[in-house]
Structure 1
Amino acid sequence: MKRRAVSGMLAVVAILLLPFAIDATAAADPYVPAAGVETTYSGPGPWAVTEEQGFGCCDSTGAAYDIWYPANLGAGGFRHPIVTWGDGTNAHPGQYTYLLNHLASWGFVVIATENAQTGSGVDIAGAVDYLLQRAEDPASPFHGTLNPDAVGAMGHSQGATGVLNALRLSGGRIKTAVPLELPIQIWCATGSWCPDTRRLVDGSVFLVNGSEDSIIAPSEQALPTQVVGLQSIRAYYEAIPSRIPKVWGTLVGPNHNDVQGQPDCAQASWPCTTGVYGYLGYPTAWLAARLMNRADARQAFVPGSGEFFQANPNWVNQIGDSTD
């Protein structure tokens, strides 16, 4: 096991859902978040962060877990929410270290299986069980510092399908899911991990995709879902039962792998256009609203009047019904 304070960049070694990789060297323009909640949660949180690669073993495939967590766990009696992460196809948690470190700086304990085939959701959900089992040990730094009733799941690409499947299969343990660049069903038609958002029974969902991700996670589809299934983010969103709080937004500019930015595209798998910037603010705020009950974050997602739904040059397709 390797433990270190997060301070550097990690090289990217895999590509998601595509058979080849190229150097991605385009520099990103600075991202200017909306004044208010997006600005607040786009910046680093108040917690120093520790990262442990190979924190523990093993998931159902024998893969290890990596973890990002506040260095001063439980300070002031705080009980930390848990976020379980799902990798994209053939990816590794280290490719998302900028984002996962950012979440931990806001007080979340983030655990990620190194499994690069997470679509079933089994190992995304299993990571939570593993962490809570470790926390039962009085000698563990996590003992008495976690909130087992505040668990979220976030994932990218195949991992985005995995977090939806984990949400559905968790029996209510996972409270919210944030799928980033959720692949349309044609990409998982030969696997067992196609998500069907019509089958969700509880929890909440915040769908995020990039406007340039038109092949893997497009916003719109040409034919009705009755003919071709869920082949767009809008179709996934609309299929979520109305009783489940849900929000969708599309970032203007990003492509499929921008979320791997460290923070820009220089070390991300292709295709990457602008980097991770836009994935920091509102996704973090959503988790803070759902798992920490932070009033400012919750207010941002009030349908119609919330900050997220106002005109913003960085976002389109901001729709939702998140009242609960």
Structure 2
Amino acid sequence: MTQWARALCAVAVAVMTAVGATAFVAQADSQPYVPALGVESKYFQPGPWAVIEEIGFGCCDATGSKYDLWYPTDLGAGGAQHPIVVWGNGTNAMPSRYAYLLRHLASWGFVVIGTENQQTGSGRDILGSLSYLKGLAADPATIFFGKLDTAAAGAMGHSQGASGVLNAMAASDGAIKTAVPIEIPAQLWCSSGITCADSRKLTSGSVFFVNGSADRFISPSTQALPWQAVGLQSNQAYYEATATSVPKVWATLDGPDHNDVQGQPDCAHASTPCTSGVDGYLGYPTAWMMAQLRDDAEARGAFRTGTGEFLSPAPNWRNQSSTVSR
């Protein structure tokens, strides 16, 4: 059993002992989200770590914005070295808008940091949040000292922040190992003051593109004309334009619209317009981070070309594509 696995087991016991915007009328789900049996089901469930949320934990990024953090309560339990996930907000959103998803990631042992900057498309301040957290990990006066795996950092973001995490990874000189862009905007939105990304600039790392089937306006699945002629106007185009040397996956989640990732498990409890809620974004994106940052063989196998669980006909998903070969 690896040190990481021992830590998970130790914390699972501890947790089981310890745990007994704009107003609108949300549309409730007709049916709850049911994950596929196997890897998605495993990582759809909350992980074994209790989680601390700290809003306005520290200051500041290049714009003067504070950082928000989600991290395991018992940092370093069992000798664990926690991987890092840096978060990128959608336009005019704050990390707290995504608290359900970010808390879920932290429950699987990740330390998650997001700048409160509401314009993250350049990736500059997303990358800056990684530097900030690495500084805490090197400071003996902080609770993070010696407890983070600073060589295992990934990035996840929504909308403009999805563009931001690609830009941050491209500029990170390998420090960001993987990215999960959720609802990445078509490049036509760049003319509206939104900073976009170009996946052709990725030369290292790995990427998992995720979009919702109802998001046909901002982050469509496909486009009528080839991207070589009209640019990256769809998730399929971003996926196809990414170099073959970069392991990549793309899939469309059935049901969600552009902002569902900001929600709670169902739309009845969401704080933003919502179609089906955040549930579908929990299992496979978490598994991807476990595969890429913790070398979780079971999770990695789910995305493997030809044989992976995720690539067979899967409930809730369509357009599954992958170049992951091992």
Same fold (TM over 0.5): yes
Q: Where in structure 1 are there 5+ consecutive unaligned residues?
A: 1-12, 15-20
Q: Which residue does the alignment assign to 2:317? A: 315
- Read off the aligned partner of 1:101 and give its amino acid letter: R
Q: What RMSD over aligned residues (CA atoms) do the two structures have, in Å?
A: 1.3
After TM superposition, the structure 1 stretch with the greater mean CA deviation from structure 2, 224-233 or 22-31, is: 22-31
Number of residues paired by the alignment? 305
2:153 to 151, 154, 165: 151
Q: Which residue does the alignment assign to 1:263? A: 265
Tell me, in whole angstroms, the C-alpha distance in 1 between the residues paired with 2:298 and 2:254. 24
Q: Which residue does the alignment assign to 2:282? A: 280
Q: Are the equivalent residues in 2 in contact too, given 1:157–1:180 (CA < 8 A)?
A: yes
- Could you give the per-residue CA deviations for residues 136-170 of structure 1, whole angstroms, max 9, x where no partner exists? 22121100000011000000000000000001000
2:178 is equivalent to residue 200 of structure 1: no
2:216 to 208, 214, 217: 214
Tell me, in whole angstroms, the C-alpha distance in 2 between the residues paired with 1:97 and 1:28. 23
SS for the counterpart of 2:52 is strand
Tell me, in whole angstroms, the C-alpha distance in 2 between the residues paired with 1:27 and 1:236. 30
Tell me, in whole angstroms, the C-alpha distance in 1 between the residues paired with 2:144 and 2:324. 31
1:27 to 26, 29, 38: 29
Q: Are the equivalent residues in 1 in contact too, given 2:32–2:266 (CA < 8 A)?
A: no
CA shift at 1:28, angstroms? Answer: 5.3
Tell me, in whole angstroms, the C-alpha distance in 2 between the residues paired with 1:62 and 1:176. 26
CA shift at 1:192, angstroms? Answer: 6.8
**TM-score, scaled to structure 1:** 0.92
CA shift at 1:41, angstroms? Answer: 0.1
CA shift at 1:29, angstroms? Answer: 2.0
Pairing 1:102-181 to 2, within 5 Å after superposition: 102-181=104-183
- Read off the aligned partner of 2:272 and give its amino acid letter: S
Q: Which residue does the alignment assign to 2:185? A: 183
Tell me, in whole angstroms, the C-alpha distance in 2 between the residues paired with 1:268 and 1:187. 25
Tell me, in whole angstroms, the C-alpha distance in 2 between the residues paired with 1:268 and 1:161. 23
Q: Which residue does the alignment assign to 2:294? A: 292
CA shift at 1:268, angstroms? Answer: 3.6
Matched-pair identity in %: 62
Tell me, in whole angstroms, the C-alpha distance in 1 between the residues paired with 2:172 and 2:30. 38
CA shift at 1:190, angstroms? Answer: 4.3
Q: Are the equivalent residues in 1 in contact too, given 2:127–2:168 (CA < 8 A)?
A: yes
- Read off the aligned partner of 1:267 and give its amino acid letter: A
Q: Which residue does the alignment assign to 2:304? A: 302
CA shift at 1:24, angstroms? Answer: 2.4
Tell me, in whole angstroms, the C-alpha distance in 1 between the residues paired with 2:312 and 2:129. 36
CA shift at 1:193, angstroms? Answer: 2.3
Tell me, in whole angstroms, the C-alpha distance in 1 between the residues paired with 2:194 and 2:210. 23
Q: Which residue does the alignment assign to 1:4? A: none
CA shift at 1:262, angstroms? Answer: 1.5
Tell me, in whole angstroms, the C-alpha distance in 1 between the residues paired with 2:125 and 2:97. 18
CA shift at 1:263, angstroms? Answer: 2.0
Q: Give the ranges of 4+ consecutive aligned residues of structure 1 lying more than 6 Å apart after TM superposition.
A: none
CA shift at 1:22, angstroms? Answer: 4.2
Tell me, in whole angstroms, the C-alpha distance in 2 between the residues paired with 1:23 and 1:217. 24
1:69 to 65, 68, 71: 71
